[in-house]
Every structure is written in structure tokens, then in C-alpha cells.
Structure 1
Amino acid sequence: MPTLDTKLTRLLNLQYPILSAPMAFAAGGRLAAAVSRKGGLGIIGGGYGDPAWLEAQFAAAEGTPVGVGFITWSLRKSPSMLTDVLKHKPVAVMLSFGDPRPFVDEIRAAGAKLICQCQSMGHIMDAVDVGADVVVAQGSEAGGHGAVRGTLTLVPEAADYIQKMAAPSVLVAAGGIADGRGLAAALMLGAEGVLMGTRFWASAESLVHETHRAALLESDGDGTIRTQVADIARQLAWPIEFTARIRHNAFTRRWHGHEDALRKEAGTVGPIYRKGFAEGDTEQTGVFFGEAAGLIHSIESVDTIIDQVMEQAVRRLEHRAVQ
């Protein structure tokens, strides 16, 4: 399989410029290790902070070099989780959805690279200001939490800013990228690689329930919605600027647009939601995937996914080069 040499592959000593997103409840140690073994960098999803779960996922990685990602506003409630995780010597720590400043020094002291995921130019500026090794520009097409900027304009704007500031940060694109066309496009927009979530969410190695994977295969790019209702049902205090992209289903049709009513009934709806999520219900709970669902037509192993992405990306880039 041909490689692509970029600033990202050189920075992280990778064969391929591909990172897997640290998706809460989906990106465990097995998935992260599979991505790293194949030549990218897999990132365990720290989610809302369960120390025992994180220990189990690092054990599942079996010593393979991986990264770990945290929801930054949640990590601030239990900063000791970062200290505990750094004992595992992760390649990188990814911080998303909050000010990274309280954690930068500890991450650097442990020898890990700092990845900051950003959804606006203000976030990009903050990441450059703290000297992030990798800046992820995440468009709203992404599954799970994000904001409102689209990948197509956010990535080149971020690239221009990083160049203007002469910053050493390496730019990575995320949001709606699930195949080699997306990787090739990201490189043309000024990124040095991609972070893929939904494509790896729909892999054999993810922790996603089989029925949720099946729901993705039945969907397309029109089958999701950005909404607060999953967070309200779970009584999670997400900052107002971030919503979650999830499957448009009976749950979203009932509650999206009726958020105040859901807040009043969250004590009743929440347990039903959580039970349904654990059991793989696809209609009365949140199913977290992005617009890239329309590009995914089968559940494959990580090895197969990366092979397909790289083959298609290199073919596209070579074709454009000779035109």
C-alpha cells in the first residue's frame, strides 16, 4: 500500500496520515490499537470520565502506542483522570470542547503530543496560542458533538491562519470524511491528514452495538440531525455552543423542538434512554453518527478501511497530478 508523507506522518511517526476520533462509548482500546498497528494513530475515547473503563481500554490496547481524548469541560471536574492516563504513556492527548490551558503543561511534561480539536476560528486561535502540536479543524458534518462551521471552509481558513502565524502546529481535517476522496480533498484544502470518526465507528473493532451499525447502513447523509435532545435526556450540561449530530429517529422527532418539555421530563426519559442505548435500541435513544453515513455501505475491519482509504486517496491525487 503506498504511503503519503506529510507533516502529520513525520510528527507522529505514522505510515498514513489518518487518526481515529476518540468517540465516547465507541472508541475503545481494541479500535485504537488496530488503527495504530495499521499505520495511523488510534485514539481511545475518554468520554465523560470513567477511570476503571479507561484502565480496561488501555489494557485492551495491549501495549500498542495509542492516544487518548477527553471532553475538556468534563475533564476539569476530575483532572486526576489525566494524571492517571498519562502513566500509560499515550502518544498524544486530544482535548475537545473547552479551554485546553489547564492541562497543557502536564501533557507536555509527560512527553505526549497535544492535539486540540477546534470548531471555530476562535478555537483555532486558542490552540495555536497554547502551541498545540496538532490542530483538528472539525466541521459540523461530523457525528457526535460539534458546532456550526463546515469542513470545506473551516479547514483552509485554519490553514491560512496557521501559516500567517508561522505556527508549528500541524493541521488535520475532520467532519464528513470517510473515504479516500475526503483524505485527498483535505490535503488539497491545506490539512496534513484527517481524523475520521463515523467511518471507524462503523468498523468491526468499535464498541458500537450491532443494531446501531445496522441503522447507519440503512441511513444516508440526510439521515442525521444536530440537536441537544440526547444531552438533555442524559442530563449532561454541555456548553450551549455545541450540539450533537445523531440519527434522526423517533426520539429526535418526539423531542427536537420541544427541549423545554424534555427538560421537565428528563428524570423519566433519561433512564429509558440509557437503557435503550445499552440494549441497542435505534429509535428511542441517540445513535451517534455523522453525515458520512451516506458514504459507508458495509462494516469492515480497520485494516480494510485504511487500505481502501489510502488506495483511493493516492489514486485521486496521482490522477490530478497528471492532468
Structure 2
Amino acid sequence: MALSTEFTELLGVRHPIVLAPMGGSAGGALAAAVSRGGGLGMLGAADGQREWLDREVPIVASGTDQPWGVGFLTWAIDAGAVEHAVSYGPRAVMFSFGDPGPFVDRVRRAGAALIIQVTDLDEARRAVDLGADVIVAQGTEAGGHGARRGRSTLPFVPVVVDLAAPVPVLAAGGIADGRGLAAALALGAAGALIGTRFQATAEALVDPEITRAIVEGRGEDTERSSMLDVVRGSRWPSTYTARTLGHPYLDRWRGREAELAGDVRSRQDYQDDVARGVIPRLPVWAGEAVDLITDVPSAADLVAALASQAEDALSRAGRR
């Protein structure tokens, strides 16, 4: 049973599986591997640093002849970053966290598909009004950043599907195996955007310690908070929190968030601890489905495995 959906037909890919454009870790090798495997590989361009794009785009472009794309943190970019990215000819451009309105025309002129990630219904309506070709409905189970007042994937996705129809919707958040993909399709989604699972692959641009933490991690150990952004001096807007695995600074400051915001010394302590190797350079962004990640395969093989698992799950459900 082929998993053909509106999304696979629109983008010209075999499987309704998309690599989440995780800032920094979704580099050219990972995006190329996902695309070779039949999914849509997305570069995690984050704030659109030209040096990073100029290094990673040639890797994905030479690593696959299949469609690939670029994803941005909308609040962190300017028009120049989008212009530079689309000059490389990506098949799709994705915007997350912020109003992508100022950049839509540039994507349209480049002939790329416009993908917009949303975390609530107001954002979903805005994405429809902007003419998104694909909408990603992100639930709070997702690893990394998301809306402070978001909704769980299971109830959120079908509401967005109904609101956005006939625009294809991808489910995101808490999906780490083929059963999750099958569930997304059963909810009416046209595919799934997957992040944490792809961090634990051979091609991901992550430190081995982070890979090991993900493989050994448990969903109940993840926590959504803004504390690590505050203590790191991150520019992330306060409307977004991040789901990570446990961290010493979460334990130290939990329940004292207001105090942390005004504690300048805590930021220096954090940097000192990073320099001494007491804590990792970055938090371990991880979603609630991290328990399902037990190995570190090639991303191309993983795409095929996810699709096969989803087909099996849907077949079993049909027989029941």
C-alpha cells in the first residue's frame, strides 16, 4: 500500500515524511539523506546565516537529485536571508514562529512551495490567508521550541485539517515511528514533520553526547520551559518555550523563573559551566516520543522504515 497523499503529489516525493528544519542540526548531509530516502529533506537555516547556508546547500544539492527545502525561524530573519536561500533553488521554503507575511512574495517569485508551521488556530487562519501551500500543525509534544500556550497534537491536527481544507496539513509533535505517521494520516493529515527522531541519525549535525542522550532519554524526562533560553541569553521571544531533556539549570531554577529573569550572574555561571564542560553547550531538544528512539540509523534507511511501519499499522487497523 503506497502512502500517496496530497503532499507527496504536490512536492513530488515518495513518502509523506518531512525532516523538521532543526536549526543547525538539520544540515546538508541529513537533508540529502532524507530526500534520497523518499521524504522531503529540509535544511535548518534558523536565522539565515549566509556562511552556514553557503556551506550546507552545496552538500544537499550534490547529495540528492530529489526535492529538498529550507526552513527559517521567522522572527529571526530578514528579507535578505530569504532571497539568498531561494537563489539556490529549493523546492520548498518553510517558516516557523512568527508572521511570514513579509517573505511570502519572495518565495512565490522563486517558484518554491510555501510551508508555514502553526501552533494555534489564529496562526492557522493567517497561514490560509497568506496562501500557504502546506501547513504544519505543531503540538506541544514536539521537541525544541513551540507556543507557550499550544495544544496537544492529537486534538490540534484534525481541527487545523478542517480549517485549512483543501490545503494539505502535516502533523508535528510526538511522532517518532511509523505508528505516529499512521496516526497522523488517520487524523486527516497529509503527512508528518519529524524532528527528534532524525537527530539520532548518522548524518545529523549534533554532538555524540546529544545523540547518546536522545537514545537513552525518556519522555517523562522532557520538560517545556523558557528557563534555558533565559539563562543562555537567547533572543527567542517569550511567547515560545522549549521542550528539552532534563538539565541542571532547570532543577536549579524551577519555580523561580521570575527571579532568574533578573539574575545577571546566572548567565555568567551558565557560560562558565559550559566552558568547564559541566553542562553541554546546548540543551538537548527532545520531544515526548524520545522513548521510541533506540538506534542511530542512516536517515535514508529511517525514512523507508517509517513508511513501511506506517503501512503495516494502517493495514492492521483496517483488518480490525
Whether these two folds match at TM > 0.5 is yes
Which residue among 308, 317, 320 is the counterpart of 2:317?
320
Structure 1 unaligned runs (5+)? Answer: none
Residue aligning to 2:232: 234
Residue aligning to 1:183: 181
Structure 1 CA distance for aligned equivalents of residues 57 and 30 of structure 2: 11
CA contact (8 A) 2:219 2:289 kept: yes
Secondary structure, counterpart of 1:62 in structure 2: helix
Structure 2 CA distance for aligned equivalents of residues 201 and 97 of structure 1: 20
- Greater mean alpha carbon deviation, residues 113-122 or residues 250-259: 250-259
Secondary structure, counterpart of 1:46 in structure 2: strand
Residue aligning to 1:52: 51
Amino acid of the structure 2 residue aligned with 1:3? A
Secondary structure, counterpart of 1:222 in structure 2: helix
Residue aligning to 1:224: 222
Secondary structure, counterpart of 2:300 in structure 1: helix
CA displacement, residues 269-292 of structure 1 (integer Å, 9 cap, x when unaligned)? 45346657xx7944x751111111
CA displacement, residues 135-160 of structure 1 (integer Å, 9 cap, x when unaligned)? 00000000000122100000011111
Structure 2 CA distance for aligned equivalents of residues 118 and 280 of structure 1: 36
CA contact (8 A) 1:24 1:47 kept: yes
Amino acid of the structure 1 residue aligned with 2:58? A
Pair 1:296-2:296 in alignment: no
Residue aligning to 2:194: 196
CA contact (8 A) 1:210 1:280 kept: no
**Aligned-residue offset at 1:43:** 0.4
CA contact (8 A) 1:6 1:192 kept: yes
Amino acid of the structure 2 residue aligned with 1:312? Q
Secondary structure, counterpart of 2:56 in structure 1: helix
CA RMSD of the aligned region, Å? 1.8
Secondary structure, counterpart of 1:230 in structure 2: helix
CA displacement, residues 148-206 of structure 1 (integer Å, 9 cap, x when unaligned)? 2100000011111123xxxx421100000011110110011010000000010111110
**Aligned-residue offset at 1:304:** 2.4
Structure 2 CA distance for aligned equivalents of residues 280 and 29 of structure 1: 30
Structure 1 CA distance for aligned equivalents of residues 278 and 85 of structure 2: 29
C-alpha spacing 1:237/1:195, structure 2 compared with 1 (3 Å): same
Structure 2 CA distance for aligned equivalents of residues 217 and 4 of structure 1: 28
Residue aligning to 2:131: 131
Structure 2 CA distance for aligned equivalents of residues 66 and 275 of structure 1: 36
**Aligned-residue offset at 1:61:** 1.1
C-alpha spacing 1:280/1:94, structure 2 compared with 1 (3 Å): farther
Amino acid of the structure 1 residue aligned with 2:163? Y
Pair 1:150-2:152 in alignment: yes
C-alpha spacing 1:237/1:220, structure 2 compared with 1 (3 Å): same
Residue aligning to 2:207: 209
Residue aligning to 2:252: 254
After TM superposition, the structure 1 = structure 2 runs for residues 72-111 of structure 1, keeping only pairs within 5 Å, are: 72-75=74-77, 78-111=78-111
Amino acid of the structure 2 residue aligned with 1:120? D
- Greater mean alpha carbon deviation, residues 312-321 or residues 131-140: 312-321
Structure 1 CA distance for aligned equivalents of residues 221 and 83 of structure 2: 39
Structure 2 CA distance for aligned equivalents of residues 271 and 281 of structure 1: 9
CA contact (8 A) 2:177 2:292 kept: yes
Residue aligning to 1:112: 112
CA displacement, residues 245-291 of structure 1 (integer Å, 9 cap, x when unaligned)? 01112121113333344332254145346657xx7944x75111111
After TM superposition, the structure 1 = structure 2 runs for residues 161-176 of structure 1, keeping only pairs within 5 Å, are: 161-163=163-165, 168-176=166-174
Segments of 4+ moved more than 6 angstroms = none
CA contact (8 A) 1:201 1:208 kept: yes
TM-score of the two chains, using structure 2 as the length reference: 0.93
C-alpha spacing 1:6/1:285, structure 2 compared with 1 (3 Å): closer
C-alpha spacing 1:256/1:49, structure 2 compared with 1 (3 Å): farther
C-alpha spacing 1:109/1:272, structure 2 compared with 1 (3 Å): farther
Q: What is the number of residues matched between the two proteins?
A: 313
Amino acid of the structure 1 residue aligned with 2:81? M
CA contact (8 A) 1:217 1:298 kept: yes
CA contact (8 A) 1:212 1:281 kept: no
TM-score of the two chains, using structure 1 as the length reference: 0.92
Structure 1 CA distance for aligned equivalents of residues 274 and 59 of structure 2: 25
Structure 2 unaligned runs (5+)? Answer: none
